[in-house]
Every structure is written in structure tokens, then in C-alpha cells.
Amino acid sequence: MANPKNFVDLQRGFYNALSQGLGYSPSDPFQVIQPSPPLTGGDQADELLWNYLNNLPMDSLTQNMQLSPGNQFLANYQGVMSALKAAPNTFVSTVGKPCADAFDKAIKDGDAKPSPMGFRNWAMFGEWSPVAVSGASALAAALLDPVFAAQMNVLPYKPVGSEPVVFSTGYKTMMTLLKKAPSRSFKVSASDWNSDVSKTWASNSSSGFFGLWGGSSSSSTLSEKFASSGVSLQAHFQNVLPFMATPGDWYSSSAFGLAFNSPGRAPWDPEKPINWDKTFGKPDGNMQRFATTLLIAHKMDITVQSQATYSELEQSEIKRNEGSGLWPFYSSGSGSGSSTSASFNAAGNMVVKITSPLNVAVVIGGIVAPAAQYLGHEAQASKIIMSKFFG
């Protein structure tokens, strides 16, 4: 336990304090999520919530949602499905390739559903009416193959189609659960930070965080002055919810599990640029980890005290940037979403207050699962599918 020497030490100490304050042990795959803009409801409430689950976590104790490399669950999953080769079927030979291509386009455009009835209804009232019934029967048989079914079911969704990503549980239900969740509190004095993260799931990997305010560098002079001159923190959350939701109809655990458990062989298409190593392999696979749980807070009350002495010029710079959010959550929401303010006493010491009101949710962390854990349970099912469709 000691006073942090720099911002890296302070961020690591905050990771330990927050994870333990929320009830997690050093071995749990907890990840701090920054920045933490408030979720205030409205027409985009589900989308904003689901964006956190759609983001694929980095191998780091901190997940910066603004500095993320851009790996998205749905988009990358869609890429994997395009790289798999479905088992032979008679759908295309029954309806003809022009009809099959037109049906695919209709699904992407939202003009048809990826189902036998969807095909029949689409074909019945157009130039493809002669194959409406026979094509529906052939499609029903083809959809018994989980790979073919998964490829069809993901077509309506972005970026290939027009529908946004969806998960099983939305904002309204989340808020109901959140208000019933238990409270959490913790505090750390200036000389009581534990910056040792060597035994955590990501070890010393703690890159991707800002400095004193959102968008600033953690190695800037002002950020380092703040971190190394004595910082204490008090945090209280009226409610903290471990929120879980499963992917929507766009996702097939059986097809995706088959892909994971079949490195270098069918159903992977060797002629496609996307392969197992580029997807799940280390160190550069783009789907090595998944966000399984979000830690969501309600009625947040954070007080940060800095023992550093700030000049009038430094105080003005901090006040000018407090709208970008200040450490540790960088909650830069406006209006009724959250409040972040910095004040200074006569000696130039700073106090930061971060609060969020009733009925406002703030995502502050998550639980990360490696692909082997997320998809490993599909191993036995994969063997059965392989023998039936690709044996």
C-alpha cells in the first residue's frame, strides 16, 4: 500500500479498489469501463446499452470505449459466418442462383424473412412464384444445417443488412433489476493504494485509459502531477447490478461453437481470407474475448480529493476541460444524466465530485470471458454436428 508514483499506478490502484469494492477477487476477469456516459433512456436506450455487449474487450484491465480498436461482436461474427462452408443442400438448385441471390438481397434489405414461410411469401407475389412452394421445402431442409441457418439468420443485420444489433434483455428490464440491486461503497486514502495487478487476469496490461480528464494523456504533466501528489477517493453506489443478456436471433451458438472447435478444418472454407487463426488465435485474433456481464451503477456519488497545489492557470485548464469528464469515470453526460465538477480551496487543492441522479444508469465495468470459456461448452455438440453434416 502506497501513494501512486504516476498515473499508471493510480489507475491500477483504482482497478483494485473498484473490483474489490464491487465484491470481486483479483482472479476474477473484471474490467473497468471508461469513459462512463450515463444511460438516460429514450429512443436509443436499448441500442446504447447493447453497444457495450457488442464491443469485444481488449486484453486489458481497462476497456476504453473511445479508444477501442473497433472490434464488434456482430460484425466479426458475420465475417466468420461468411467464411464457413455450409453442408450441401438443394436450395439453390431448386430455385436457381438468380432467385437465391435475389432472396438474399431481400433479406438484407428487410423485404423478406430468412425462413421457409418468408421465402414462400416473398416468391409468391413476384417473378419467382413458380418455385415458391418447392423452394420453401428445399429451404426448410437446408436450414437443418446449423451453419446454413446461421448464415441466413445473420443476413438482415448490420453491417451486411439494415437491422441493428439486438440482445435478449433491454434497457427497461435492466432498470427494473438495477433499482432492486444492492448498494456498494468503498474508499481509499492517499497512502493506501494497492497498485499490484500482477495476479489479475490481464496481469500488468492496463493500457487504454485517459489522464485527468477525458481525452487527455495519462502521461501529461498535469495528469502526472495529479496522480503522484496524493489522491484519496470515496465512492458510493445506491445500486450495482451485474447485468447479463444473450445475443439475439442473429446469433447461433451451435454454428459459432462449431467454428471455434474446428480449427483448420470444415466448416471453415480454406479459400476465404477469414480463418480460425485470424478470429480466435493469439495474439491477433479479433474474437478472443467476450463481454458476458456489465456492472451497472445507479445513484453514483464519487468524491476525489487531490493534495496537489494547482496554480491559477492549472485550475483554469482543469475547469475548462471538466465537461469532458474527470477521472475516474469521465462521466461527461449533460443535463439530467450526470454531474462532474472540480473545485479548489484557497491553497489550490482540488476536490472532484461526480454524481448521477435517480433513474440514470452508468456502466462502470464488465466481466470478460475468453473464447474457450464462452464457446467451450459447444465442444460435444460440435462433434455431433460434424458427424452429421460434415463427416
- pLDDT category at 208 given cuts 50, 70, 90 is confident
Domain spans, the chain:
7-66+167-246+291-368, 74-166+247-285+372-390
Of 174, 345, 344, 148, the C-alpha closest to 252 is 148
pLDDT at 40 over 60: yes
Cα 319 from Cα 329, distance rounded (Å):
16
The 3-state DSSP composition of the chain as helix, strand, coil percent (nearest 5) reads 35, 20, 45
Over residues 97-110, mean pLDDT:
97
Burial class (CB in 10 A: 0-12, 13-18, 19+), 123: buried
> How do residues 227-258 score in pLDDT, each as one tens digit?
999 999 999 999 999 999 999 999 999 999 99
> How do residues 333-365 score in pLDDT, each as one tens digit?
555 688 999 999 999 999 999 999 999 999 999
Strand partners, 365: 32, 295
Specify whether the CB–CB gap between 99 and 93 falls below 8 A: no
What is the pLDDT, as a whole number, of residue 134? 98
Kindly report the number of other CB atoms within 10 A of residue 101's CB atom.
12
Cα 88 from Cα 92, distance rounded (Å):
10
What is the pLDDT, as a whole number, of residue 112? 96
pLDDT at 69 over 70: no
Q: What SS3 class is residue 366? A: strand
Q: Give the predicted TM-score (pTM) of the model.
A: 0.94
> How do residues 279-314 score in pLDDT, each as one tens digit?
999 999 999 999 999 999 999 999 999 999 999 999
| Cell reading at 101 | 441471390
Specify whether the CB–CB gap between 16 and 194 falls below 8 A: yes
The C-alpha cell 480463418 sits at 275
- Least confident window among 19-23, 179-183, 207-211, 346-350: 207-211
What is the pLDDT, as a whole number, of residue 171? 98
What is the pLDDT, as a whole number, of residue 1? 73
